Amino acid sequence: MKKLVYILLFTLSAYAVQAQDTVHYTGKTLVNVDYHDGELTPAVGVHSMQIFRANRQHPELADGFGFTYNHQPMLCYWNNTFYVEYLSDKVGESVPPGQTLLITSKDGQVWSKPAVVFPQYKIPDGTIKEGHPGVAKNLYSVMHQRMGFYVAKSKRLLVLGFYGICLDGHDDPNDGRGIGRVVREVYPDGKYGPIYFIHYNPKWSEKNTSYPFYKTSKDKGFIEACDELMANPLMMMQWVEETDRKDPLIPLHKDYKAFNFYHLPDGRVVGLWKYALTAISTDNGKTWPANATRAPHFVTSNAKIWGQRTSDGKYATVYNPSEFRWPLAVSVSQDGLDYTNLLLVNGQISTMRYGGAYKSYGPQYTRGIIEGNGTPPDGKLWVTYSMNKEDIWVTSIPVPVTDQVSEQTDEVFNDMIAGKELDKWNIYSPEWAKVGIEKMPDGTKALALNDRDRFDYAYAERIVPESKKLVADFAIVAGQNNTGMLDIEFQDAKGHAAIRLTLDSTGTFFAKAGYRNKDLLKHYDANTPYHIILKLNTDTRFYTININGKDLSPNLFFAPVSSVKRIVFRTGGVRRFPNADTPTDQSYDVDHTGNPAKPAVFFIKSFKTSNY
């Protein structure tokens, strides 16, 4: 028996030592996938913005093509500009034709319309893959890339993509038998250089492809930048899935997916792959252990995981901490190995408007700015991802990453410094339901929640010090009283609501009272300020409301909470679809997908809280 105990202790000790020298999670927070936000506490000040909204019915409002499978975005910051690259297929994953587009922004707030950077590519008729029965005829390539950008030492920006082949719906573009990887330069004026192949897969060359080989360029600086890229083993590790499996450019020939990396203070390199596989290189990525290990206690499935060093010298991983592709969360580490917490980044799942092959629900396939590809001046952690493999999003996360707010709020938006008004607010801002600071009709600034989206909503949330007795004092103006709606919720740290007030599309202002509603105002007026003072007590579960100086009768929480930490303003109802039991694939389109709803806007003029 003693011998067995010793063996067990030795095994546990060895596991602990191994865990200490690899990426691992020692936090206690786990996700509940019955909720889109996983019941996670949000990181403070996170701003999530939709930068591309698919539209098949009105392509002119989207990418000009009406493609509805949009995925695998990549991000860099160069020449004082954000660049997001993403691939796009007509309907479903790896169903041709495919192409790659770029979206840019100077400030991370206003984004350009997508521009094609790698167009649709015709595969020569008669093309076959050994061991596959299909034969190409009038077939176009699909695009796939795990690497988007490279900033050379000369400060040149290269953008890259990969032309793969899918002969039918069961073929794989990442089997090492695609055509090859293309590259072009992004110039400082925003224009693009010619397209070249930088690397061919077997059986492909200058003789049977449509673009020249990069070595034929007359720009020596461009050739040098490409050569520099291919001499960097950490960059080449990103090519492993699409390149020939025996390619000598790739340091580790394993079927690991979606590589990214960061350096530890001692110079070692942490590698991360899908499924939270991780390994450490001691020679800057030239060699790796024979096998990666799954990061102990990290919970994640086959969506990507992103890791990087943050501007405060700490480290962060951003990923879906469940076996589903929701929620999107961030975990922080002091040393790049031991991750100790788990906070919410994006807990929303908008309606999947268009069905298609392998379209998964949720915010997924996160990428940030890899080392060497630029540093935004605001010091924030920036990431990009797709929603439902349909729309493209970016999110900025303030650094240091925290879920704590130490002071009560006292915000009159018209009096605040321009550009700083929403520093402590969490926002979720779709293209057709934007959240931001705007001027009201009277010329004063306010927090505006616009909404003309039938399938999504504007969402603004203020984290406050966790309180049992709280007073919330705020002024709101509805731009109309015959369309749209606004929910105002008081929630605990996990997002459980205790109080919900609603301005609805019929002009009624009411509170949720159990499974019924209680009128607060039978009619509210458009473009009229309503000054609301709400006083709550989580122990008694009662709250009182004063509207424009008039006290209303006390109300009871519709659900109990032990404390309140989050106040939410949302232009739509609670979403519970999809859930853990929803069928994996959605084959149908929803109705009225391409047309906006009648627009509505709600303004928050001021927001103050206190304890009593």
Distance of CA 91 to CAs 94, 356, 389, 466, 592, Å? 9, 5, 10, 45, 17
165-207 pLDDT, tens digit per residue, is 999 988 999 899 999 999 999 999 999 999 999 999 999 999 9
Residues of the chain with pLDDT > 70, as a percent, come to 97
User: Mind listing the domains of the chain with CATH numbers?
Assistant: 11-397 (2.120.10.10), 410-611 (2.60.120.560)
The amino acid present at 202, given as its one-letter code, is: P
Helix ranges, 276-423 (H): none
449-489 pLDDT, tens digit per residue, is 999 999 999 999 999 999 999 999 999 999 999 999 999 99
In angstroms, the CA 453 to CA 341 distance is: 34
Q: How confident is the model at residue 245 (pLDDT cuts 50, 70, 90)?
A: confident
Question: What's the burial of 416, exposed, middle or buried (CB within 10 Å: 0-12/13-18/19+)?
Answer: middle
Q: What is the pLDDT of residue 13?
A: 36
Neighbours of 265 (CB within 10 A): 9
Q: If DSSP codes are grouped into helix, strand and coil, which group holds residue 421? A: coil
pLDDT > 80? residue 288: yes
Q: Contact at 8 Å (CB) between 65 and 612? A: no
Question: What's the burial of 176, exposed, middle or buried (CB within 10 Å: 0-12/13-18/19+)?
Answer: middle
Q: Contact at 8 Å (CB) between 326 and 320? A: yes
100-142 pLDDT, tens digit per residue, is 999 999 999 999 999 999 999 999 999 999 888 899 999 999 9
pLDDT > 70? residue 11: no
As given in the structure block, the two tokens for residue 611 are 């304890």
Distance of CA 478 to CAs 129, 145, 434, 458, 525, Å? 61, 45, 15, 14, 8
What integer best gives the mean pLDDT of the chain?
Answer: 95
Q: Name the more confident of 16 and 39.
A: 39
Q: What's the pTM?
A: 0.96
